Structure 1
Amino acid sequence: MRQYDDLVEVRKGPVPDDGPQQFLWRGRLWQVREVLAHWVETGAWWLRRPEERPGRSELLREREVWRVSAARGRAVATADDPGFGVFDLAFDPTRGVWRLAGSLD
Structure 2
Amino acid sequence: MSKLYGDPIEVWSRGGQPVQFVWRDRLYTIREVQDHWVVAREWWKTSDNDPGERRFWRVAAATGREVGTYELRFDTAGGVWLLLRAWD
User: Scaled by the length of structure 1, what TM-score is found?
Assistant: 0.69
Question: Could you list the per-position Cα deviations for residues 71-90 of structure 1 after superposition, in whole angstroms to 9, with x for gaps in the alignment?
Answer: 01x2xx3xxxxx32100010
Which segments of 5 or more consecutive residues in structure 2 lack a partner in the other structure?
A: none
User: RMSD in angstroms over aligned alpha carbons?
Assistant: 2.0
2:77 is matched with which residue? 94
Q: Which stretches of structure 1, 4 residues or longer, exceed 3 Å deviation after superposition?
A: none
Which segments of 5 or more consecutive residues in structure 1 lack a partner in the other structure?
A: 46-54, 78-82
Which AA in structure 2 matches 1:99? L
How many residue pairs get aligned? The number is 83
User: Scaled by the length of structure 2, what TM-score is found?
Assistant: 0.81
Point out the structure with the larger strand share: 2
Give % identity. 40
Which AA in structure 1 matches 2:86? S
**SS, match of residue 36 in structure 2:** strand
Question: Could you list the per-position Cα deviations for residues 4-25 of structure 1 after superposition, in whole angstroms to 9, with x for gaps in the alignment?
Answer: 1100000002x3xx31110000
